[in-house]
Amino acid sequence: MNNCFSNYLLSLPIQIVNWIKSFLHKKFYKVKINSSLYDSYLVLSVIPQGSVLGPLLFIMYINDLADICTKDETDIYLYADDAKIYKHVFSNADQDQLQMSLSKLHDWSNTWLLSMNAQNCKVVSYGRHADKNY
């Protein structure tokens, strides 16, 4: 469990922590097609999709993600399960800082078992005279 998420949980009353644990622990699902009900299977993801509590727990879980970028003077925009890292790149030093943040993001995602979809990763340059060398 990540440190920031653990800190949130530790600051809550024990009854709420136990309620969250029971919400996340050993969930099963069944598949029903027409009138046929199939065997139960253990849910492999931690937070059930479609739950009301799920988005809040996810935000708490990824809350330390913003710390990765601010150390390298790179900005990050988080919305739901989407993250956008951005930086004004005017020099090689700026490019290096952005790359350092991207590398840290990759390491962070591997540490917390949140895979990134490389197919959805894009580079965008804006400006009248954007220098394509960076």
If you compute the radius of gyration of the chain from its CA atoms, what whole number of angstroms results? Answer: 20
Contact call for residues 98 and 87 (beta carbons, < 8 A): yes
Residues 1-30 pLDDT 10s: 545 556 566 777 888 888 888 887 887 878
**76 pLDDT exceeds 70?**
yes
pLDDT at 82: 79
Query: Residue 43 gets which letter from DSSP?
Result: -
Residues 84-101 pLDDT 10s: 888 888 888 988 988 988
The model carries a pTM of 0.65
Q: β-strand 32-33 against 82-86: which pairing, if any?
A: unpaired
